[in-house]
């Protein structure tokens, strides 16, 4: 039974930064290729996110280059002031030191890492996902990506209208490539 088409594909190469919209990408065992593949951890090994540093959402990360299975393309980060920096470069590290205001380690995962319940979705000809459970929404949607100010009204609406269910978690059954306009089928 046809249940829809892919209208948008957004991935976030850096956890808590604004992401990028892509025309097509691979679906890996962990989800969209490169989604949250780069992050920051504090001195205790916990992820630094917009929960602690709301201004992180004002930085936009995009991959610059072709997807590869043995390494990620270079990440370009657009700062709120409009500068474009490269992940890992000295200027980027200095900018992050000022933003995070604490000692942080840069984390990068390999492209091959693996990290309506029970039903499956087929996207396009090859990709298949099994729906596992509800995804509860956290406070991240209260932060406006244009100015990093907080507004709790959207989260309150999701809690009231959707019991705080924002989406679903799914496991990848078959990997492949998805593109805008791909058909999405619900399978038993």
Domains by residue range for the chain, with CATH: 2-187 (2.40.33)
- In angstroms, the CA 138 to CA 156 distance is 11
pLDDT band at 165 (very low <50, low <70, confident <90, very high): confident
pLDDT of residue 160: 84
Does pLDDT of 93 surpass 90? Answer: yes
pLDDT of residue 110: 84
Using DSSP's 3-state secondary structure scheme, residue 145 falls into: coil
Bigger pLDDT: 155 or 50? 50
Q: How many CA atoms lie within 13 A of 77 on its CB side?
A: 25
Tokens of 161: 């209208």
**Neighbour-count burial of 12, counting CB atoms closer than 10 A to its CB (0-12 exposed, 13-18 middle, 19+ buried):** buried
Contact between residue 171 and residue 27 where contact means Cβ atoms under 8 Å apart: no
Does pLDDT of 115 surpass 50? Answer: no
pLDDT of residue 34: 94
Does pLDDT of 120 surpass 60? Answer: yes
Q: What mean pLDDT is reported for the chain? A: 91
pLDDT of residue 40: 96
Phi first, then psi, for residue 55 (nearest 5°) are: -65, -15
Q: How many CA atoms lie within 13 A of 7 on its CB side?
A: 2
pLDDT band at 113 (very low <50, low <70, confident <90, very high): low
What percent of the chain shows pLDDT beyond 90? 69
- In angstroms, the CA 118 to CA 130 distance is 6
Q: What is the pLDDT of residues 10-39, one digit of tens each?
A: 999 999 999 999 999 999 877 899 999 999
**Neighbour-count burial of 48, counting CB atoms closer than 10 A to its CB (0-12 exposed, 13-18 middle, 19+ buried):** buried
Q: What is the pLDDT of residues 65-86, one digit of tens each?
A: 999 988 899 999 999 999 999 9
Contact between residue 180 and residue 23 where contact means Cβ atoms under 8 Å apart: yes
């Amino acid at each position: 039974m046809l249940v829809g088409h892919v209208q948008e594909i957004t991935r976030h190469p850096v956890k808590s930064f604004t992401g990028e919209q892509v025309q097509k990408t691979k679906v890996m065992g962990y989800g969209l290729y490169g989604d949250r593949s780069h992050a920051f951890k504090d001195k205790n090994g916990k992820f630094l996110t917009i929960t602690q540093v709301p201004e992180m959402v004002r930085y936009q990360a995009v991959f610059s280059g072709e997807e590869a299975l043995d390494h990620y393309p270079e990440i370009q980060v657009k700062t709120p002031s409009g500068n474009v920096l490269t992940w890992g470069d000295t200027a980027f590290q200095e900018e992050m030191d000022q933003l995070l205001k604490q000692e942080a380690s840069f984390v990068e995962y390999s492209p091959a890492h693996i990290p309506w319940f029970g039903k499956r979705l087929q996207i396009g000809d090859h990709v298949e996902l099994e729906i596992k459970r509800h995804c509860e929404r956290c406070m991240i949607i209260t932060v406006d990506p244009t100015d990093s100010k907080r507004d709790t009204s959207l989260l309150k609406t999701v809690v009231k209208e959707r019991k705080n269910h924002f989406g679903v978690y799914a496991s990848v059954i078959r990997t492949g490539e998805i593109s805008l306009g791909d058909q999405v089928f619900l399978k038993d």
